[in-house]
Structure 1
């Protein structure tokens, strides 16, 4: 049945404003860089997805989804085994008008609507129950709040080198002064470039990197104690305080509906 296709290309030229695709992926499954003519809403009911574009990384745990606008080149990787559900929207019916990727919360109702659209045929009848589900889907997406789960990546190779190291070694406490000796830029230049290139100070960017690593580790069922230790925090309470300040809830509450 065409509506059950797992080929993203089968959803780009359909006649309806939205089409849904279901695809289950194993842990660490990687989808290389590509783009679509349609905007894309990506959701996984288990595990997490890391979406990467030229502008940075977006972490999409369960109960969240990421919006990828049309023609934005991106790649994706599964964190844990995931049940991925993807909706493709034509340009005249984009549920979000952001020119950049963004992460939104998924309410229980939106979760069921996404699942319903992935089950219906791509040529669902107009003025039908399926069409009514699609109409409700648009109403449920638009008012949802954007979650701060984006990590902007710099284009300047001097600080990009620093960022890549931090992502690979999130507990590292190397100072800006120490980085200036290996990055090919003065301490003052590094301090200036981080806000210019990422919109964040060096310290803020490092904290955001740790936050996104933490979300990925939570998705992979690591304990809060192990995550706090892996990220260099002296205690689980210090890590939990950072997490709550950034996302409005504790790590143990993050995946609760």
Structure 2
């Protein structure tokens, strides 16, 4: 069981507004017992996990970020970050003058090999590189790369309806529960039809789709921590490891072994 987390205040780099420096980089380390204080900043932020696994929370939901992927957080969005596995991070903070070129939605994104190298370089530039320098030209390339990012499916939507929140909280606490929609509707004193409609209205997903996304997040987190694929598959209710691997490949484009080996 995880010890009481240590609160940590975030860097203030995201507060620096300066269009002549479109991107500011930062190196970071986040341990499993550290809970980053909820915060927002004018700059958009790309948090890239070189190693480890982080989870980012906003009012809209949560995102699991495995190794060699990143999470994009638009400017002025309150967010909180925790490490599921101690993580080595690189951050890019994008000035508000350039955010119109990028997504206004939080998302986990695939990071190309080129962007990986650029992220590692810009983390060493500091906050006062010259506008016409080679560092500035690297940042211009990064902006182009950021526009081409494709979101992955490691996002779990949240809800504002209290009944739905209670169901989601219970399922997150016990992801391998096999209880269906009828059971959960009865638990919160609503009809099955009402809860079904609420899931679609508030998350854009059916109950079953939301549950599958929860299981996917849980699987990525557990395998990333070193648990065996066969154990994760059976504990999450799959009838066989092959069925689990097929789901994983269909959703994330690669089987678990390849997915995580490319992130190490």
Q: TM-score, normalised by structure 1?
A: 0.93
Q: Distance in 2 between matches of 1:88 and 1:12?
A: 9
Deviation of 1:224 (Å): 0.7
Judge conservation of contact 1:54–1:153 (CA < 8 Å) in 2. yes
Deviation of 1:177 (Å): 1.4
Q: Report the equivalent of 1:197.
A: 202
Deviation of 1:174 (Å): 0.5
Which of 4, 8, 11 pairs up with 2:11? 8
Q: Report the equivalent of 2:49.
A: 44
Deviation of 1:72 (Å): 0.6
Q: Report the equivalent of 1:254.
A: 259
Q: Secondary structure at the match of 2:93?
A: strand
Judge conservation of contact 1:14–1:123 (CA < 8 Å) in 2. no
Residues 138-172 of structure 1 deviation map (CA, whole Å, 9 limit, x = unaligned): 22222122111111011111111111111111110
Q: How many residues align?
A: 252
- Structure 1 residues 224 and 50, CA gap change in structure 2 (3 angstroms): same
List runs of 5+ in structure 1 lacking aligned partners.
1-5
Q: Distance in 1 between matches of 2:130 and 2:67?
A: 31
Q: Secondary structure at the match of 1:59?
A: strand
Q: Report the equivalent of 1:119.
A: 124
1:163 aligns with 2:171: no
Judge conservation of contact 2:13–2:93 (CA < 8 Å) in 1. no
Judge conservation of contact 1:12–1:88 (CA < 8 Å) in 2. no
Question: Alpha carbon RMSD of aligned pairs, Å?
Answer: 1.7
Residues 111-141 of structure 1 deviation map (CA, whole Å, 9 limit, x = unaligned): 1111111111211112222112112212222
